[in-house]
Amino acid sequence: MGKETLTITDNRTGKTYEIPIQNDTIKALDLRQIKVKPEEFGMMTYDPAFMNTASCKSKITFIDGDKGILRYRGYPIEQLAEKSTYVETAYLLIHGELPTKEQLDDWTFQINHHTIIHENIKKFMDGFHYDANPMGMLVGTVGALSTFYKDAKEIHDPENRKKQIYRLIGKMITLSAFAFRHSKGMPYAYPDNELSYPGNFLNMLWKMTESKFKPHPVLERALDVLFILHADHEQNCSTSAMRGVGSSHVDPFSAVAAAAAALYGPLHGGANAEVLYMLDEIGSKENIPAFIKNVKEGKGKLMGFGHRVYKNFDPRAKIIKKLAEDVFAVTGRNPKLDIAMELERIALKDEYFIQRKLYANVDFYSGLIYQAMDFPIDMFPVLFAIGRTSGWIAQWQEMLTDPEQKIARPRQVYLGYESRDYQSLEERSKVAVKSAV
């Protein structure tokens, strides 16, 4: 094998540069030495949307988009979805290893014992409008937790971080359930520490007058698996927001609020809701060809299809499709499933989608499951955020403890005006009148 370097010739100057290669990457800063004149800033890379830029080194999640592989800390997602629980997977993501029985018991105890929220949070939850979007409420309330836990700003103290991590994972389900109950005009239901993490969440969502809520085991497990599938996905939009905002050394509640805000968007966590709106718009199977024709003409997208990284299949979509059968056996079949399956079948055979390597992603079927479980569409991104919290935390902690990381601060290619002099309002008005004439 040759040398682990890249030789670049600048044809403007004829100069040659030898740049080290490490892990199949070059350091963007190594390009800075490439200049025509010494006073120049130096060469940069231009990469809108970070299509080909690694912003960090990470040991958390591995994705091979061409082969449809997703692994957390080396464990295939298929094995975790089959054998693990969300709480155990969260431990794995954050600590790097699966826990021993003792470690898992302690971890579970700590998360359970941090689910209660301060009574004042209920008060500002009440302040939201009756039809407030629960994801908007979650973004607001999770950020507000920083005002209750002032010690959270001690981010460089590992013991302190641990406490905030218990709080974040524990309270996400409580805030999410309270946001839901508020939007339904229902009294808040408190956590029950005897239940599993997803069971407790279901309890806070659906408990009515019964003294003890018993979650349906199939739905409880389905939710657990959905949380596992959404737990991390390396440097996606919301995780990049978590790392970017966290790099300013703000407390983790504020950083999670930023990450959750990123997840709120229709191209990210809002996509499964968009799938259901799309299926409603299509209405019935006969309308699918006309819908596909419109998509191909650039009039809208096939929501739940395509992925920045997966260009073969999304392994999470495979697991979810199977999970849907278990859920529908309990809840009854979601009538939109037939349209979704036919839509997928037609799209997968169509040259437009084949050429662009567009396949069903995790969101194509997840919305159908959530809807069958009686979750309103507005709650879908909230469910995503609960699962993704452990990934955000793992990535945030890795960023904080990485000596190569600094505050995130990208560069730009400035293409605006050169320096020009300020004109008074009068002078500007004269110019405007002249150009109007």
- Please report how close the Cβ of residue 288 comes to ligand ACO at its closest, in angstroms: 14
> Which amino acid belongs to residue 99?
P
- Please report how close the Cβ of residue 434 comes to ligand ACO at its closest, in angstroms: 42
Question: Interface with ligand ACO by CB under 6 A: which range of 35-43, 192-200, 355-363, 418-426?
Answer: 355-363
Q: Residue 104: how many CB atoms within 10 A of its CB?
A: 15
Q: Which of 224, 232, 314, 363 is catalytic?
A: 363
- Please report how close the Cβ of residue 146 comes to ligand ACO at its closest, in angstroms: 26
Q: How far is CA 203 from CA 89, 168, 172, in A?
A: 21, 19, 14
307 is catalytic: yes
> With binding defined as CB under 6 A, does residue 358 bind ligand ACO?
yes
**65 vs 76 by CB, closer to ligand ACO:** 65
268 is catalytic: yes
Number of helices (H) and strands (E), helices first, in the chain?
18, 5
249 is catalytic: no
Question: Interface with ligand ACO by CB under 6 A: which range of 115-123, 242-250, 360-368, 399-407?
Answer: 360-368
Q: Residue 192: how many CB atoms within 10 A of its CB?
A: 16
Question: Interface with ligand ACO by CB under 6 A: which range of 94-102, 218-226, 334-342, 361-369?
Answer: 361-369
Helix%, strand%, coil% for the chain, nearest 5: 55, 5, 40
Q: Quote the Cα angle for 176-240-388, to 5°.
A: 30
Question: Interface with ligand ACO by CB under 6 A: which range of 78-86, 108-116, 178-186, 295-303?
Answer: 295-303
| Angle separating helix axes 380-400 and 237-246, nearest 10 degrees | 40
> With binding defined as CB under 6 A, does residue 252 bind ligand ACO?
no
Residues 115, 183, 235, 361: which binds ligand ACO (CB under 6 A)?
361
* Token couple for 356: 């662009």
* Range 195-214, binding ligand ACO (CB under 6 A): none
* Range 105-134, binding ligand ACO (CB under 6 A): none
Q: Convert residues 299-338 into a mask of x (bound to ligand ACO by CB under 6 A) and - (unbound).
A: --xxxxxxxx------------------------------
- List the alpha helices (DSSP H) in 113-153: 119-126, 134-148
> With binding defined as CB under 6 A, does residue 362 bind ligand ACO?
yes
Alpha-carbon distance of 128 to 136, in angstroms, equals 10
Q: How far is CA 162 from the centre of its chain?
A: 22
Q: Are 393 and 252 in contact (CB under 8 A)?
A: yes
For ligand ACO, the nearest residue by Cβ is 306
Alpha-carbon distance of 312 to 68, in angstroms, equals 6
Which H/E stretch holds residue 7? strand 5-10
Alpha-carbon distance of 262 to 232, in angstroms, equals 14
**70 vs 302 by CB, closer to ligand ACO:** 302
Alpha-carbon distance of 275 to 271, in angstroms, equals 6
- Please report how close the Cβ of residue 171 comes to ligand ACO at its closest, in angstroms: 23
Alpha-carbon distance of 347 to 304, in angstroms, equals 12
Q: How many chain residues interact with ligand ACO (CB under 6 A)?
A: 17
- Please report how close the Cβ of residue 427 comes to ligand ACO at its closest, in angstroms: 44
- Please report how close the Cβ of residue 407 comes to ligand ACO at its closest, in angstroms: 26
Residue ranges that bind ligand ACO, judged by CB under 6 A: 267-268, 271, 295, 301-308, 356, 358, 361-363
Q: Would you please indicate which residues are annotated as catalytic (active-site) residues? A: 268, 307, 363
